[in-house]
Structure 1
Amino acid sequence: MQPVTQRLGYRAIRVATGTALALVVSFGLDFPIPVVAPVFAVFLLATQSRPLSLKAGLILSLVVASTTGSGLLLVPLLRHYALAGVMLIGLMLFFAFRYGLRGGNNLVATFLVAGLTMISAAGTADFELALTVVGALAKGLLLAVLVSSLAHTLFPERAGAREQPVKAAMADDQAAYIALRAALVVMPAYLLAMTDPASYMPIIMKSVSLGRQSCTTSARGAARDLIGSTLFGGLLAIAFWFALKLFVDLWMFFLWMLLFGLFVGRKLYGLHRTRCSPGFWLNSLVTMIILLGQSVQDSVAGKDVYTAFAVRMGLFLAVTVYACLMLLLFEQRRRVE
């Protein structure tokens, strides 16, 4: 029992350390969208018990950068034939989610969804903004890979530890059903972001996280896992913000992120057992990072942080409630059939 607890403890420390490092480096180097790197780091560290090799990491970065960069090709279509462009984006989201459900790499599927939506939405407003988003995604992913490798080096997996189980590929009809549901979860936030990409980019990232979570959440637990994790992530962001105000410094930013990451990581890996699923805690951590990161940027830009947070939290809750309704609607239709 002790080796198991120690192994899970190492994994919790890796998630916290890697996320904190990605956060402080991306903000310290003033990345265009600094929350991208820590969010990607969370996904990498929480789903991989072994580090990616340098070659695999570079290949992953190149594949995702090239495929998401293809979203630039859809910008003219979205500008001149908006309906056809939106339908094509929806179809590509469906295939990206289906690829992950059919046994493909879930990380690649998540990065593809994020890239396609963020880049194409930004391109409808300004092509230069779309290029900035491409660079931000590439830098964020590369930093996340490097930080993940460093975290695994500092806190290696115990010798003889089992790999995290790989989920079996779903049947084709079930994968198509869930992929369609996930794509519909993402689309409203994407359409909203097209009206003002610079302001609504965090909403896209939140919807991508919801779409990913909806692939593993049942309709029965949708309210608790989706709405509950969004609310708890908001509470964590508020607590983090007021803790950070006690002493505003980049290193304190790192230390507080490390502390909050450990708090969530212990629950994520069951070291402190709760009734909530791992997906609940993963989504809570991602929500906290997005909300907190945007609040920090609002503060630097001289905006009213509290008003902006209230509006953003309201939008997060709106897209989350919509995701729950979508899950319930699909479940009800399946029962009828």
Structure 2
Amino acid sequence: MDIRARRIFRLSLTTALALAIAYAMGGIFAFLAPLFAFILTLKPAPPMGIRGLLAVVIIISLTTGTGLLLVPMLMHYPVSAMLLAALGLYLSAYLTLHLHQAALGMFVALGTSLISTAGLYNFTMGSELVQALAGGMAIAIISQWLVYPFFPEPSGTAGSTPDQPPPDPRESRWIAMRSTLIVLPVYFMALTNPSLYMAAIMKSISLGQQASELDARHAGRELLGSTFLAGFYAMAVWVGLSILPNLWMFFLWILLAGIHIGAKIYGALPTRLSPSFWVNVMTTLLILIGPAVADVSSGKDVYMASFVRLGLFIFVSLYAWVTLSMLDAWRHRQMNRHLQPEPS
């Protein structure tokens, strides 16, 4: 089998299998498992072993559990807590950019923002969310164990990545600051209504990581375009699922969407858009469709809730684009001012 086909089927089947296992177990945040499975399987490498799984679960519990420590501070010392949250978001972006610890940076960001927000709304929910994050990662890794033997990487290519030049510390600090400013206002809004903005926080964290690789010229197409397209994918999956609403059909529709988007990511289907664009489409699709399924069981109006959620995602994407453009324009002006010769 062609190496691109192996990667496409491994990515889509691992994501769909993690979704089926998580929803069969009945977790309240079941959509986290396929999201983690998709992120982990993007890299063409064998899955981690049992020791790696245990280490990851411990790291997730520690990094996200620190968000619960912010809850009493948010209630009694809100200014200090918000400054600590800003520091945590900056640290998470710096870990991702400068130290190339993307998974660790993501969980620091989730603990700082998502867990503290959920804990402020309901401390029990915050504790359950920490358990759901660790459990979702475990399900994702187990799904990798089950799928990888059928679609392994050819010998000599597994885990091979080109050497990257060491990052410039000043550039890393600047991009980390830019990423923090994208996530922080959404976090502040979520503190006023945690139940409404929790999904928007996850979207802003995803955008903050994606914006680290973008410039202002391509940010609009990458950030807004991928969000709109994810909305169309989510509607297509929902219409297909409404024909026969059961877990196996959910599994099959996510598998089909994963195959099509994976083919775009790995270049099997021609596209003018970057792989990061399609990665953001799939992550946004999972963040949209998962809460929509949960809305059915809770008796909410699915269409209205999904419309509000998608509107928030578009607003967050638009804000990220405007922030990115303004900060880059300001920085270019400052650099040009320093480069101009002083009058004699």
- Same fold per TM (> 0.5)? yes
Give the counterpart letter for 1:295 in structure 2. Answer: A
In the alignment, is the contact (CA less than 8 A) between 2:44 and 2:153 conserved in 1?
no
- Equivalent position of 2:10 in the other structure: 14
1:44 is matched with 40
- Supply the AA of the counterpart residue of 1:248: P
Where do 5+ consecutive residues of structure 1 fail to align? none
Residue 56 of structure 2 corresponds to residue 60 of structure 1: yes
2 CA distance for matches of 1:210 and 1:168?
Answer: 24
Matching of residue 164 in structure 1 with residue 161 in structure 2: yes
Supply the AA of the counterpart residue of 1:324: W
Q: Is the 8 A contact 2:241 2:249 kept in 1?
A: yes
| 1:241 maps to which of 223, 238, 243 | 238
Secondary structure of the 2:270 match is coil
Q: In 2 relative to 1, CA 168–141 (structure 1 residues): closer, same or farther, beyond 3 Å?
A: farther
Query: Given the superposition, is the C-alpha separation of residues 201 and 48 from structure 1 closer, same or farther in structure 2, using an over 3 Å criterion?
Result: farther
Question: How many residues matched?
Answer: 333
Equivalent of 1:274 in 271, 278, 289: 271
- State the match for 2:332 in structure 1: 335
1:198 aligns with 2:180: no
TM-score normalised according to structure 2 size:
0.93
Change (3 A) 1:111 1:19: same
Kept in 2: contact 1:115–1:137 (CA 8 A)? no
Q: 1:172 is aligned with what amino acid?
A: P
For 2:299, the equivalent position in structure 1 comes to 302
Identify the residue that residue 24 of structure 2 maps to in structure 1: 28
Aligned amino acid, residue 245 of structure 2: V
Give the partner amino acid of 2:215: S
The corresponding residue for 2:89 is 93
Residues 113 and 298 (structure 1 numbering): CA distance in 2 closer, same or farther, change over 3 Å? same
Map of 1:256-275 to 2, 5 A cutoff?
Answer: 256-275=253-272
Structure (1 or 2) with the larger CA radius of gyration: 2
| 1:83-232 alignment runs, 5 A limit | 83-161=79-157, 163-165=160-162, 167-232=164-229
1:76 shift after superposition: 1.1
The DSSP-based 3-state class of the residue aligned with 1:221 is: helix
The gaps in structure 2 that reach 5 residues or longer are 335-344
Q: What is the aligned partner in structure 2 of residue 70 from structure 1? A: 66
1:168 positional shift:
4.0
How far residue 48 of structure 1 moved from its aligned partner, in angstroms, is 4.5
Q: Please, what is the CA RMSD of the aligned residues?
A: 1.4
Deviation of 1:130 (Å): 1.2
Q: Is the 8 A contact 1:60 1:108 kept in 2?
A: no
Structure 1: which 4+ aligned runs deviate by more than 4 Å? none
Among the aligned pairs, what percent are the same residue? 38
CA distance in 1, matches of 2:162, 2:110: 25
